[in-house]
Amino acid sequence: MKKKLAKILKDTLDLCFREGYLRRMPIREFVIEIPNNPDHGHFATNLAMALAGGQKGSPWDVAEIIIRHLVDHDHFVLKAEIGGAGFINFTISKGQWYNLLAQVINLRDDYGRSSLGKKEKMMVEFVSANPTGPLHLGHGRGAALGDTLCRILDFSGYDVRREFYINDIGQQVKILGESIYSRWRQFSDPSYPFPSDGYQGDYIQELATEIAKEKKLEGLDPHEAIDLLSELGKDKILREIEEDLADFRVHFDLWYKESDLYSSGKMDHARELIEKRGLLFEEGGALWVRTSSFGDDKDRVIRKKDGQFTYFASDISYHFDKWKRGFNRVINIWGADHHGYITRVKAALAAEGIPGDWLEVLLIQLVKLWEGGAEVKMSKRAARYITLKELVDDVGVDAVRFVFLSKDHTSPLDFDIDLVKRRDSENPVYYVQYAHARVCSLFRKAGKENIHLPEHPGPVLQRLVLDEEIALIRKIAEFPSLIEEIACDLGPHRLTYYLTELASSFHSYYNRHRIVTDDKTLSQARLLLSLGVKIIIRNGLNLLGVNAPEAM
RNA sequence: GCGCCCGUAGCUCAGUUGGAUAGAGCGCCGGGCUUCGAACCCGUAGGUCGCAGGUUCAAAUCCUGCCGGGCGCGCCA
């Protein structure tokens, strides 16, 4: 709808320039928006105000010229008025809205799907949690965001891959092994020391018990045992991470192992590339990359003097590999505490001539948990924290995903367990789902009354004459452009707000007017409108990874 | 000290990328089921958009400077 109006305005401008009604000038950006005041029509544009600077008259004069010469062969616009400081308010003819609703019903699950992305290859790397412990809430937030972005990007015509990067080697995996080993020893000797930087948490004991049952650890010397425990412990944790994510409706196309970068020679290759550019140097026994030449505030070490490569080294190699695999765009979702890393990685990419906007990093802020009116303090060191699995088991996937996705990822999230646990009206999630279930219920009711949808909705839809009904269709019509906008600005929280608004409008309408009545065609028309609402809610929730139940 | 993010109703947050009288949920107060599901609806109250300048027809939104909060500035992972 918006696009159609934009075309009309553009044609009108062309005409006005050609015929000299308006002084020819570059068209400044103008906006077509949906006014919140119903007196301002269905759409409004600031076009006249944007042009006024280069024209003779005031915005009002310009607006009048535009309205007088509107190129509208199909009588799309019913009414065009000037308001405020020079806005042009458009009221669209009812027939156009009926057509739109008919189109929604026709397209069903595909309504809102677009080819915006033109099959462009994209990758979203997210979660990428270390395989040293269970997923916490921050990971969950990242998982929900990453997965939903992928769903939306896919729906918008991008060719999207989901990837999980596994830090499966190095210091932290070794510490995992040492932690398990120590716990195992403590079973028989409680005084056996626990590493100072070891992983707290009961899951370490559980792993020790489990592995001790499967493998004979007694004969091994400590080094061998620790290596074995590192390997087995890591694999078990990884399997659990994968399961927890699957339960959270998140699946990855590829689990990329850091160790593969070493075994495949990609680490060496990346180093050679940097060396060829003359950006590698040795100092103090360590190997450095001159990232300061590319916007970083200092140079960075990729190999320590003890010979170990740093995380940064494999990150460079990994991102070079992403580039080489031919992705047009790459999105990383990181915890906010990693933001210092962004310039570093981008500097390394810039050194290879990779453009700065190729990689986009989204930072996830913390999740705070509230219960009984107080914050649940979490501490990783003391292993006092609620895992994603625990939360999901407690309140359900739908609620967790919806709440995680309902806030912009740049601001910290307060998660009120009490609120979300309640399966009643206080719960923000059920509000939207209820609207969907309610429509389903209406159709069950209509079926009993032997009222069915007509073959061709066109004629019946003319029974929709109320302002509220047109307003609902207009709300429905926003869906495709909203999805496109989200695909561009990567802010899916707006979808949760939109769905809540749509549900609210529908609940309100439902309470004021009967859908199924003795008047058959009116009932059919209102059922068609309800169906339109249902389709949008279903498609929207689907993109959020939340169920749309037929009954609750 | 430097860099990034944030500051909007009592609380938690939106605000269509610069637009018209700044919105929603929760909480408070008061109403609404004999008819399609009350997991719902309707109404009332609640604001110096952190502060001060600047940019322009127009600023919660953009620029500058303060104030307040979070995070980051390792040859840690």
Q: Do the bridges between strand A374-376 and strand A367-371 make them parallel or antiparallel, or are there none, so unpaired?
A: antiparallel
Q: Which amino acid is at A530?
A: S
Question: In this structure, are residues A84 and A45 in contact, taking their beta carbons and an 8 Å threshold?
Answer: no
pLDDT surpasses 70 at A28: no
Chain A residues 26-45, Cβ below 7 A from strand B = 31, 33-37, 39-40, 44
Distance of alpha carbon A211 from alpha carbon A14, whole angstroms:
75
pLDDT confidence of A380, banded at 50, 70, 90? low
Residue A53 tokens, joined? 């600077």
Question: What one-letter code names the amino acid at A127?
Answer: V
Question: Which residue's C-alpha is at the least distance from the C1' of B77?
Answer: A172
Interatomic CA distance for residues A277 and A320, integer angstroms: 14
- CA A171 / C1′ B76 distance in Å: 9
What's the ipTM?
Answer: 0.95
Interior angle at CA A139, CA A138 and CA A145, nearest 5: 95
A33 neighbors A44 (Cβ within 8 angstroms): yes
What does the pLDDT read at residue A382? 59
Q: How far is the CA of A412 from the C1' of B6 (A)?
A: 9
In terms of Cβ atoms closer than 10 Å to its own Cβ (0-12, 13-18, 19+), residue A465 is: exposed
CA torsion, ordered A225, A226, A228, A232, to nearest 10 deg:
130
| Per-residue pLDDT at A129 | 93
Task: Give the relative orientation of helices A520-544 and A94-107 as an angle to the nearest 10 degrees.
Answer: 60
Within 262-321 of chain A, which residues have Cβ less than 7 Å from strand B?
Answer: 283-286, 297, 300-301, 304-306, 308, 310-311
Given a cut of 90, whether residue A422 has pLDDT beyond it is no
pLDDT in tens, A236-278: 999 999 999 999 999 999 999 999 999 999 999 999 999 999 9
Statement: the CB of A475 is under 7 Å from strand B: no
Q: What is the residue-wise DSSP string for A416-431?
A: EHHHHH--STT-HHHH
pLDDT greater than 90 at residue A86: no
pLDDT at A191: 96
Distance separating the N- and C-terminal Cα atoms of chain A: 34
A425 touches strand B (CB under 7 A): yes
Per-residue flag: A111 CB under 7 A of strand B: no
Structure confidence at residue A49 (pLDDT): 87
Q: How far is the CA of A410 from the C1' of B10 (A)?
A: 24
pTM given for the model = 0.95
A504 touches strand B (CB under 7 A): yes
Query: Domains of chain A by range and CATH?
Result: 2-92 (3.30.1360.70), 98-115+423-544 (1.10.730.10)
| Residues contacting residue A156 through CB under 8 Å, at least 6 positions apart | A113, A114, A116, A117, A483, A484, A487
Q: Gap from A257 CA to B44 C1', in Å?
A: 60
Q: Is the CB of A508 under 7 A from strand B?
A: yes
Structure tokens at A431: 């509000």
Q: What is the DSSP string of A486-497?
A: HHHH--THHHHH
Which residues are paired to A161 by β-bridges? A123
**pLDDT band at residue A36 under the 50/70/90 scheme:** confident
Nucleotides of B under 7 A from a protein CB: 2-7, 12-21, 23-27, 32, 35-42, 57-58, 70-77
Which band of pLDDT confidence, cut at 50, 70 and 90, is reported for residue A172? very high
* CA nearest to nucleotide B19 C1': residue: A46
> Has residue A428 got a pLDDT over 80?
no
Q: Give the Å distances, CA to CA, from A392 to A113, A181, A408, A448.
A: 30, 30, 21, 38
Residues 435-454 of A with CB under 7 A from strand B: 437-438, 440-442, 444-445
pLDDT of res. A423: 60
Q: How far is CA A292 from CA A50, A268, A462, in A?
A: 43, 22, 67
The answer to whether the CB of A258 falls within 8 A of the CB of A165 is yes
Is the model's pLDDT at A287 over the cut of 90?
yes
Burial tier of A125 (Cβ tally within 10 Å: 0-12, 13-18, 19+): buried
